[in-house]
Each structure stands twice: as structure tokens, then as C-alpha cells.
Amino acid sequence: MTRTDIVGLKENRDPSKRLRLPIRNDTGQHVGDLRCIDRSMLDEPGLIEDLTTWRNQSMAFFLTQFTATEERTRSWLENISLPAADRILFVICDPRGNRFGNFGVCNIRPGAAEFDNVIRGRASDTRNLMFHCGMTLLEWMFSGLEIETAELQVFSHNEKAIGLYRRLGFAAAESLPLRRTEEMDMVKYSVVDRSQANAGFDYLKMELPAERFRQSHLGALPTSSSAYRTG
Ligand SMILES: CC(C)(COP(=O)(O)OP(=O)(O)OC[C@H]1O[C@@H](n2cnc3c(N)ncnc32)[C@H](O)[C@@H]1OP(=O)(O)O)[C@@H](O)C(=O)NCCC(=O)NCCS
């Protein structure tokens, strides 16, 4: 069962109570934090600008494609992301607070949750930063959210993302046909019957059961959610 109060974490208005998941490299060194984007962060200088820039530079890899603006990003955070009980978004920071990308979880439900909004925004000195972020988030999903299966969906031609997910232990579960449509100022891809598909690529579902994660990364899972800090 998911016991974490996701909305409560994001409605936080007190900067001293922020959820931060420490990111560690292969030698255990603290190389940064996944900072939960909560209400207290909305006015952090440059955050909305970064999220908007990163979304625009990665637009082609997502189901819904549009021109992101700072206004639209803020409205999405305030009206959709922050109030949702089944999703959470983190910004990737180094120990000095410099931002490098975002990494989220959606469709949080008893037993499972999905990676969401995974974007490498800019280069950093830390090798394999996105891999270490993925490991951090998986540890939190399995131990903190107590899910049994981590899932994700990715365009089947997105080799960089699939490479990252395979390194984390995900395996392909299903390949779903996609149809591309244009609406006003938006391009949308939807899962359809194979006979209706026109995208030229599929939507690949990938899965990672907790058991496989534990076996491949022995010692990676803290025994309780108390290992995660706020502040
Ligand atoms: C998928 C993704 C997160 C994988 O990131 P990754 O694990 O760093 O792997 P990449 O092959 O992209 O990067 C290889 C190297 O290029 C560099 N790099 C990657 N993205 C960069 C960026 N935006 N700016 C500068 N350098 C970048 C990094 O140095 C990285 O090496 P390092 O991890 O040792 O530092 C990244 O390619 C990305 O953001 N893609 C666009 C969005 C996307 O497809 N998201 C997934 C949707 S399902």
C-alpha cells in the first residue's frame, strides 16, 4: 500500500521541510539531491525558466508536443502537478543547488508507479548523473512508496532513454502502436489499434520488479523510509 502523503509533501510552504533524496555515485559520494518541487519552490529564481527550456529542448520525446512557455509551466505546476495525489516531480541539483534536469514519478497507485518527465537539462561534472538519479528514485519508489513494480513508457526509437532504463534494470514488457494527430498548436501521439497506427514507432512499456532491483543492486534499499530527509 502507498502510505506516503504525496499532496502533503508538495503543498509544503515551509522551505525547512522540503523532501530531498540524496543522489550518490558508485562510491557512495553525495553528488547532489533530487529536490521535490513543492509550493515553497515555485518562486525560486530560474526554476520555471529551466523547466520550460528543458521541456522545449526535449519536446520530441513526449506524447504531447507543444511550445512550452513559463506561464504554461507555472499553470501546469499550480493546477495539475502540485494538487495531484498520484504524481511528484523532482529537480536534479548538485550540492550547491545548481539545476541539471528533472525526474518525476506518475501514476502512483498501490503496488506500482511510473517514471515520468525524465529530462537531462544540461551537462554536469558528475559522470552518469541520470543513472544515479534513476537509482535514487527507484530506491525511494520501492522503499518509500513501497511499490512492487516500477514502470515507464518510452518511444521505441528513443535509444538514449532506453539505454538508461536498461542500465537501471528495466526490461521491455509490451510495444504499443501509436497514432500521430495535430490539434491547433499541438501534436499528440495516442495508443491505438495496430491498424490505425501511423507514427512509424511504438510506445514501449518497460518494467522493473522490486525483486529484480534488490537482486541486481544488493544493499541499495534502505530498510525504512526514514532514510529520506526533509529540509
Ligand atoms: C534520456 C536521457 C535522460 C538520458 O540521459 P543520459 O543518461 O545522460 O544519457 P545520454 O546518452 O543522453 O548522455 C550521455 C552524455 O551526454 C551528456 N549529456 C546528455 N544530455 C545532455 C544535455 N542536455 N546537455 C549537456 N550534456 C548532455 C552527458 O555528459 C552524458 O554523460 P554523463 O552522464 O556521463 O554526464 C537524456 O538523453 C534526455 O534528457 N533526453 C531527452 C528527454 C528524453 O528523451 N526523456 C525520456 C523520455 S521517456
**pLDDT tens profile 138-197:** 999 999 999 999 999 999 999 999 999 999 999 999 999 999 999 989 999 999 999 999
Length of the chain: 231
Q: Which residues of the chain have pLDDT under 50?
A: 1-2, 223-227, 231
Q: Is the CB of 60 under 6 A from ligand 1?
A: no
Query: How deeply is 192 buried, as exposed, middle or buried, from its count of CB atoms within 10 A (0-12, 13-18, 19+)?
Result: middle
CB 42 within 8 A of CB 70: no
Domain over 6-220 is classified CATH 3.40.50.300: no
Output the pLDDT for position 226: 44
* DSSP bridge pairs for 175: 204
Output the pLDDT for position 217: 81
- Ligand 1 geometric centre to CA of 130 (Å): 7
- Ligand 1 geometric centre to CA of 120 (Å): 5
Residue 169: name the closest of 145, 146, 137 by CA. 137
- Ligand 1 geometric centre to CA of 215 (Å): 26
Output the pLDDT for position 224: 44
d(CA 113, CA 137) in angstroms, rounded, equals: 11
Output the pLDDT for position 1: 43
Q: Is the CB of 164 under 6 A from ligand 1?
A: yes
Q: Is the CB of 168 under 6 A from ligand 1?
A: no
Of 115, 120, 154, 158, which is best to mutate to test ligand 1, by the most ligand atoms within 8 angstroms of its C-beta? 120
d(CA 27, CA 3) in angstroms, rounded, equals: 31
**CA 57 to ligand 1: nearest atom:** 41
CB 167 within 8 A of CB 69: no
> How many other CB atoms are there within 10 angstroms of residue 65's CB atom?
18
Q: Is the CB of 162 under 6 A from ligand 1?
A: no
d(CA 67, CA 90) in angstroms, rounded, equals: 22
